[in-house]
């Protein structure tokens, strides 16, 4: 028995932060940002009283509405995030409380930008085993809460956003989440993209705040090189394992970090530009949110037909990366 996606939903905050806004705050330019990343603007959840769980709650409510089910029918909630409301309890438990999913168990999963593909694959196992009937998987990050808006290396890249899916047993054989390959490489990855403080290694102190250790830091060039290779490799691997030719792919749904990485992945797969989902220009990198936001947009635009082959691919801190093959039901 395979797991299939039966509902999608997204939440993007209303406040738009454009490249021109960033020009007023940083030594950067709209031209530089667009040409190096493809990003024009991103969304910011301005209200400090609204944490990541607020966006998860908005997504979860829409998912229930779209699927016409009560919260009590949800068996499990997984929230992929690296910007949880707090260290504990989990943002998944907070989300459970927002919607009143009294019969669910809930946990967070942190695989940074690969969080959604890790979570979707984890969730699929609970459906395939017959343990659960309805699982909610949400990818959400309030990246503005860990961005240093004086650091042009990172501030221009990220945005806030969330989206998710419900998965259930597929109605027919041969449909749903058909394959997944997930990877980690802490040996080569952990030094290049991180937030040092706030955990047990560097608990919060005046020093950690003064040294700006509660912000994301990235060696962009290193991450770029690894992302291009790993996303293209895993996309190719998924195609080979499932005997898919470029023409068989309805949509490549890549993590939205940089248009140049997206293009390189599509090129290696031989997939035409028109089949590559991209919204990085509008939202920047929303970390665990990017792939489900893409799925929700494709679904809203009614671009997904029964039998459409989708390849989801991600890359993020850790390093973590992976690919998932979905045949839409
Ligand atoms: O989602 C998790 C995974 N993350 C990613 O996939 C991000 C991967 N990395 C990237 O997307 C790119 O490396 C960046 C967009 C972060 C940077 O692009 P780049 O082409 O690798 O630029 P660079 O870091 O090599 O910098 C080129 C130049 C430097 O100046 P010099 O040394 O050539 O004089 C930088 O100081 O551009 C300068 N620069 C900027 N200039 C204007 C760096 N950031 C900016 C900026 N505005 N925001």
pLDDT per residue over 225-264, tens digit each?
999 999 999 999 999 999 999 999 999 999 999 999 999 9
- Sign of the Cα torsion 117, 119, 121, 123 reads negative
Is 22 close to ligand 1, i.e. is its CB under 6 Å away?
no
Q: Which atom from ligand 1 is nearest to the alpha carbon of 285? A: 1
Distance set, CA 182 to CA 111, 189, 247, 269, 325 (Å):
11, 15, 24, 18, 12
Q: Name which residue sits closest to atom 17 of ligand 1, judged by CA.
A: 220
pLDDT value of residue 102: 98
Which CATH architecture describes the domain 3-169? 3-Layer(aba) Sandwich (3.40)
Q: Name which residue sits closest to atom 43 of ligand 1, judged by CA.
A: 153
How far is residue 32's CA from residue 225's CA, in Å, rounded to a whole number? 19
Q: How far is the CA of 29 from the centre of ligand 1 (A)?
A: 12
Q: Name which residue sits closest to atom 3 of ligand 1, judged by CA.
A: 316
- Mean pLDDT in runs of 10 for the chain (329 residues)? 97 98 97 98 95 98 98 98 98 98 98 98 98 98 98 97 98 97 96 96 98 97 96 96 97 98 93 96 98 98 97 98 98
Q: Tell me the residue ranges of DSSP E strands in 73-134.
A: 76-80, 105-109
DSSP output for 14-73: SEEEEHHHHHHHSS--HHHHHHHH---EEEE---TT--HHHHHHHHHHHHHHHHT--GGG
Is 278 close to ligand 1, i.e. is its CB under 6 Å away?
no
Catalytic residues, by residue number, are: 113, 255, 285
Which residues are CB-neighbours of 32 under 8 A, at least 6 positions away?
A: none
Sheet with 251-254, strands from edge to edge, namely: 176-184, 320-327, 309-316, 251-254
Distance set, CA 129 to CA 124, 168, 169, 327 (Å):
9, 12, 10, 19
Cβ atoms within 10 A of the Cβ of 220, count?
17
Cβ atoms within 10 A of the Cβ of 195, count?
18
Q: How far is CA 207 from the centre of its chain?
A: 32
Is 44 close to ligand 1, i.e. is its CB under 6 Å away?
no
Is 113 close to ligand 1, i.e. is its CB under 6 Å away?
yes
Which residues are CB-neighbours of 159 under 8 A, at least 6 positions away?
A: 17, 42, 43, 44, 143, 144, 283, 284, 285, 286
Q: Name the 3-class secondary structure at 80.
A: strand
Q: How far is the CA of 165 from the centre of ligand 1 (A)?
A: 33
| 3-169 shares its CATH topology with 176-327 | yes
Q: Which atom from ligand 1 is nearest to the alpha carbon of 316? A: 2
Burial class from Cβ neighbours inside 10 Å (0-12, 13-18, 19+) for residue 24 reads exposed
Residue appearing with tokens 């979570």? 119
Is 224 close to ligand 1, i.e. is its CB under 6 Å away?
yes
Give the residue extent of every domain in the chain. 3-169, 176-327
Tokens (6 digits) for 273 = 């530009």
Is 222 close to ligand 1, i.e. is its CB under 6 Å away?
no
- Sign of the Cα torsion 158, 159, 161, 165 reads negative
CATH number of 176-327: 3.40.47.10
């Amino acid at each position: 028995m395979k797991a299939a996606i039966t509902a999608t939903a997204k939440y993007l905050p209303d406040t738009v932060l454009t490249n021109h806004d960033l020009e007023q705050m940083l030594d950067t330019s709209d031209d530089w940002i667009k040409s190096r990343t493809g990003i024009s603007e991103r969304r910011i959840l301005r209200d400090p009283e609204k944490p990541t769980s607020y966006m998860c709650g908005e997504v979860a409510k829409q998912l229930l509405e779209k699927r016409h089910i009560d919260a009590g029918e949800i068996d499990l909630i997984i929230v992929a995030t690296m910007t949880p409301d707090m260290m504990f309890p989990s943002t998944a438990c907070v989300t459970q409380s927002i919607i009143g999913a009294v019969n669910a168990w809930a946990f967070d999963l942190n695989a940074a930008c690969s969080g959604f593909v890790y979570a979707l694959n984890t969730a699929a196992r609970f459906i395939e085993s017959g343990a659960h009937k309805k699982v909610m998987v949400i990818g959400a990050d309030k990246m503005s809460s860990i961005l240093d808006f004086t650091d042009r290396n990172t501030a221009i890249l990220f945005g806030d956003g969330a989206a998710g899916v419900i998965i259930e047993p597929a109605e027919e054989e041969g449909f749903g989440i058909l394959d997944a390959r997930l990877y980690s490489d802490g040996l080569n990855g952990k030094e290049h993209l991180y937030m040092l403080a706030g955990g047990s290694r560097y608990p919060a102190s005046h020093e950690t705040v003064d040294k700006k250790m509660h912000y994301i830091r990235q060696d962009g060039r290193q991450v770029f090189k690894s992302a291009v290779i790993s996303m293209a490799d895993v996309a190719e691997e998924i195609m080979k394992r499932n005997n898919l030719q470029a023409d068989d792919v309805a949509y490549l749904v890549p993590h939205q970090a940089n248009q140049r990485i997206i293009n390189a992945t599509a090129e290696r797969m031989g997939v035409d530009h028109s089949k590559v989902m991209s919204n990085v220009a509008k939202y920047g990198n929303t970390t665990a949110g990017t792939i489900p936001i893409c799925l929700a947009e494709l679904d809203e635009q009614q671009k997904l037909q029964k039998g459409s082959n989708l390849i989801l691919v991600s890359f993020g801190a850790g390093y973590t990366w992976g690919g998932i093959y979905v045949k839409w039901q």
